[in-house]
Amino acid sequence: MFEAIKKLFGTSPKTDLGKLIAEGAQIIDVRTPAEYASGHIKGSVNIPLSTLESRLGKLKKDRPVITCCASGIRSRSAAAILRSKGFGKVYNAGSWLNLRKHE
């Protein structure tokens, strides 16, 4: 069941988020600024989902992007937006808490 949920939200069992981060992946936290201020992943950039499309210029298309939020719903939407805008390596980590073990 857990693997089905991970697949639904855009990560696969084979995705090594720690390796992607170590290799310079961009971590985009799409929660609100207040949510982000309450806790976030070191090195992440806060770009709320509502402003993502207008701030795509801040991201590099040639580097992998990992999206995260509170539960995985907004980060899944963000990942879909990024893919539709030509970002090839996009990974949805779901909740930002999933990435804490990689800090």
From first to last of its 103 residues, what are the pLDDT tens digits of the chain? 445 545 445 554 568 999 999 999 999 999 999 999 999 999 999 999 999 999 999 999 999 999 999 999 999 999 999 999 999 999 999 999 988 888 7
Q: What is the pTM of this model?
A: 0.85
The domain spans of the chain are 2-10+23-102
pLDDT at 59: 96
Q: What is the CATH class of 2-10+23-102?
A: alpha beta
Q: Can you say whether the dihedral through the CA atoms of 74, 77, 83, 84 is positive or negative? A: negative
pLDDT at 13: 53
Using CA atoms, how far apart are residues 14 and 72, in angstroms rounded to an integer? 18
pLDDT at 9: 52
What are the DSSP calls for 6-34, one per residue?
HHHTT--TT--HHHHHHTT-EEEE-S-HH
Can you read off the two tokens belonging to residue 99? 């990435």
Question: Residue 69 catalytic?
Answer: yes
Q: Which of 25, 47, 66, 69 is catalytic?
A: 69
